[in-house]
Amino acid sequence: MWLAQALLSLPVGADAPAVDFRTEVLPILEARCVECHRDPAANSGKRPKGGLRLDGKHWILEGTKSGPVVVPGDPAESVLYELISLDADDLDRMPPKGDALSDVQVATLRTWIAEGAMFGDWVGAPGPEAGVKPTPKPPTGKLPRIILLYMELGEGLSPHTEEQIKLAEGERGTIQPVFPGSPLLSVGFPSNQGRTGTADVRGLLCCAENLVTLDLGRTRITNQALSAVSNMPRLVKLDLRQTNITDEAISHLAGLDNLRSLNLFSTGVTDGIVETIAGLEKLETIYLWQSKLTAAGVTQLRKLRPDLRVVYQADLPAPERGVPDDEDIDGGRRRRR
């Protein structure tokens, strides 16, 4: 039965291409072409040889400055086919290093082009338009958004006295108003992170109503510290990076209706937090790099909250590679043609 279904789902008729891009063409490109013809960002900033990229549908169809390299339906007019089918000792033959493509590989590419150079559902590296963000609305030039928010949240609250703040600071904390005159407070434990623990967080409770930013990054807090945090209704920004907290800590955050930014970089939280996080309606950004969340958990969170910025990976440049740059030779080749 399943065999019949599988057969039925196959394309049938005279139009069905004999060559499948993903299973037959792509492996050839990846093995022999893409190393030199790809996104500079994925190649230590090295520009693609001859200005040609073969790592995405957009780029393959775009070709080079001198024109397309693949003309769907016409191998004879396709520079790509021409170059791979040159004699092995021809200087222009591609790929320039190693053996020439095998006859079977050349024939596969030829057939693929002849059949219309179809890519199926494969896209590869996106074209320049994809991923480009539209120009943001120019800022109003009045007050930064975050300050406006603090002004709103601070309305009706009275500031604490010097004594109350001293008491809350304890031995290790530093408490400052978010701006002069605001009753809202910003708390951190700079230069004492290694000595700061759950008791210090509990000490903040006398100012709980007024706290809007709390930086517990790199401290020794435990999950229990977060039960104190659950009493801070105006919290806008909570930084728990590089602490030993786990999912249990996050369960305490469910009622924080003003939370905009939550930093869980390098913590022990797992996919178990996804539901609680998705329920934090005002949350704008969550940092999850080097946490224990899986890609599936992140996907689920993004699905539940498409508006939320989920920072799960660092878009760091790939390391440089010690490949000699022979671009000029390639360039000369292209020009001679």
Stretch that binds other proteins, among 1-9, 55-63, 189-197, 200-208 (CB under 8 A): 189-197
Task: Determine which residue in the list 16, 107, 123, 191 makes contact with other proteins, applying CB under 8 A.
Answer: 191
d(CA 69, CA 113): 11
| Strand pairing category for 174-177 and 185-188 | antiparallel
Binding string to other proteins for residues 219 to 258, with x set by CB under 8 A, is what?
------------------x-x-x-----------------
Retrieve residue 256's tokens.
């924080």
CB 298 within 8 A of CB 275: no
- For residue 84, give the 3-state DSSP assignment: helix
Task: Determine which residue in the list 132, 152, 324, 336 makes contact with other proteins, applying CB under 8 A.
Answer: 132
Q: 217-235 burial, b if ≥16 CB within 10 A, otherwise e?
A: bbbebbbbbbebbebbebb
Stretch that binds other proteins, among 82-90, 96-104, 110-118, 170-178 (CB under 8 A): 170-178
Of residues 147 and 296, the one with the C-beta less far from other proteins: 147
How would DSSP label each residue in 237-262?
A: EEE-TTS---HHHHHTTTT-TT--EE
- Report which of 328, 336, 332 is spatially closest to residue 47, judged by C-alpha positions: 328
Task: Determine which residue in the list 15, 99, 315, 328 makes contact with other proteins, applying CB under 8 A.
Answer: 315
**Is 208 an interacting residue with respect to other proteins (CB under 8 A)?**
no
Of residues 13 and 139, the one with the C-beta less far from other proteins: 139
- Location of structure tokens 């600071």: 169
d(CA 113, CA 119): 10
**Is 138 an interacting residue with respect to other proteins (CB under 8 A)?**
yes
Question: Hey, which residues between 266 and 305 contact other proteins (CB under 8 A)?
Answer: 285, 287, 289
Stretch that binds other proteins, among 16-24, 33-41, 76-84, 272-280 (CB under 8 A): 33-41
Retrieve residue 150's tokens.
């603090």
Query: Residue 42: CB partners within 8 Å, gap ≥ 6?
Result: 55, 125, 318
Of residues 271 and 327, the one with the C-beta less far from other proteins: 327
Binding site for other proteins (CB under 8 A): 39-41, 44-45, 47, 128, 131-136, 138-147, 150-151, 159-160, 162, 165, 174-183, 188, 190-192, 194, 218, 237, 239, 241, 261, 263, 265, 285, 287, 289, 311, 313-320
